[in-house]
Amino acid sequence: MASMFRGAEVEVGVAYHLVVLCDEDVDENVPTPDKVGHSWLSCGTSTVLLHSAGDIGSALFTLELWDDRPPSLGLDVWPVSEVVRLTLPSGVLCVRQTAMGRIPAVFDVGEPGDYLVRLAWRADPEGLLLAQFWAGR
């Protein structure tokens, strides 16, 4: 059974329904989800752009590092989720807020490398985001 190594939470600004999670050492622009045919996320090599269905001003972003694939999420709590692969050259993540700038070093996964990331979004009144990382073997 998988175990969580560590976690962090950060309050992020969600302007124009968008927020970006990316590696500190990468300046990568990805198209909006609607341009790639997805309803709420767009993924580059080291960057994920997330689109909120609701008009919220902020969200609590929870980031977790696991030793293996974490247990499944309940659809009642996290109605939308997706697993993506990211290459993290530094292993340190930042958040880019569309209108409020960058929040540096929000989470450190430890080792640089390839990671699988389960992303989940809940845009009810308070707005919640989840990113669960584990080694992308």
The answer, yes or no, to whether residue 130 has pLDDT greater than 90, is: yes
CB atoms within 10 A of CB 134: 21
This prediction has a pTM of 0.95
The answer, yes or no, to whether residue 7 has pLDDT greater than 90, is: yes
**Residue 71 confidence (pLDDT):** 95
Q: Which helix (H) or strand (E) holds 3?
A: none
List pLDDT tens digits, range 85-116: 999 999 999 999 988 889 999 999 999 999 99
Measured CA to CA in angstroms, residue 50 lies from 1, 5, 6 at distances of 29, 24, 23
Q: What domains, with CATH codes, occur in the chain?
A: 4-135 (2.60.34.30)
Mean per-residue pLDDT of the chain: 93
Instruction: Answer whether 48's CB lies under 8 Å from 21's CB.
Output: yes
**Residue 49 confidence (pLDDT):** 96
List pLDDT tens digits, range 43-81: 999 999 999 888 888 999 999 999 999 999 988 889 889
Higher-confidence residue of 125 and 105: namely: 105
Instruction: Answer whether 56's CB lies under 8 Å from 96's CB.
Output: no
Instruction: Answer whether 133's CB lies under 8 Å from 64's CB.
Output: yes
Pairwise CA distance, residues 86 & 88, whole Å: 6
